[in-house]
Structure 1
């Protein structure tokens, strides 16, 4: 596939391409997330919005034409220096390649992330894969981290969902990312 303005040119190898998502990726993202437990599934419509409204702060990964990775993120309106990572999905056939960290790095290298100094995400206590990936990403770049409960199980989820811990990485300079 030739690189165009939606492809992250520095993050393309022979069989794996990282690019901005497009509207037609919505159903594929929905299917990918369904196959990546324990991620919370959203509606296809939500995934369409992630692939369109938030394309500049999201990334799709393709392997041999299949969607095998996706990060959805956005810049919170009152925190324009923060990339909030909503979800990270990596299909089992693409695991073990450092894909999640590669997608995150690709996001930070985009012009749209020029002012980003922090990464934030929420993670449930038992999601060891997410904790490991984000902590490793921060450690490799010597970025400080902090953590606290953002959404309490009892208060925000009526006991129907685990606590969501906020992990904050940064501050960092764009050159450090």
Structure 2
């Protein structure tokens, strides 16, 4: 988060957490770049893609959990609150965590684009910045608009240094510490 954004935030992180805590279950709220964001509820294809990824992670790295819908403290100095589609971490990592987890120990954050108007800004611009600033080693973006998988990695200075993108159908290597190869052929059935 830039200093000017922090100075002009809509509210404090504490106020956001109170609002998010009392929001109905049908609403998913995030606090990104000092702005309150409403994240679209996932559709069926979004859920199927997430289950595809969960199966691949469980088969290749059974000592890790891909935890859906995890709230994380993102951005520089943990001033943002992102509701990930999923995060990858060691088994039992979140046992003592509350709604919003520090990113220490998280190996990968995952987002699958939605059909809402904010997905470009949120998933392609703001979240890579926030996740890199929070030190999450890998950010996996499954982009349903252009049928690609983008692997953001090597966070330094608040930005990911690597960001290769692959069309659905190609094998995708997720770098250390994830160490998983995704067979994305199945994602073609969800291509737009």
Q: TM-score scaled by structure 1? A: 0.39
Structure with the higher fraction of residues in strand conformation: 2
Larger relative contact order (Cα-Cα within 8 Å, sequence gap ≥ 6) = 1
Q: TM-score scaled by structure 2? A: 0.37
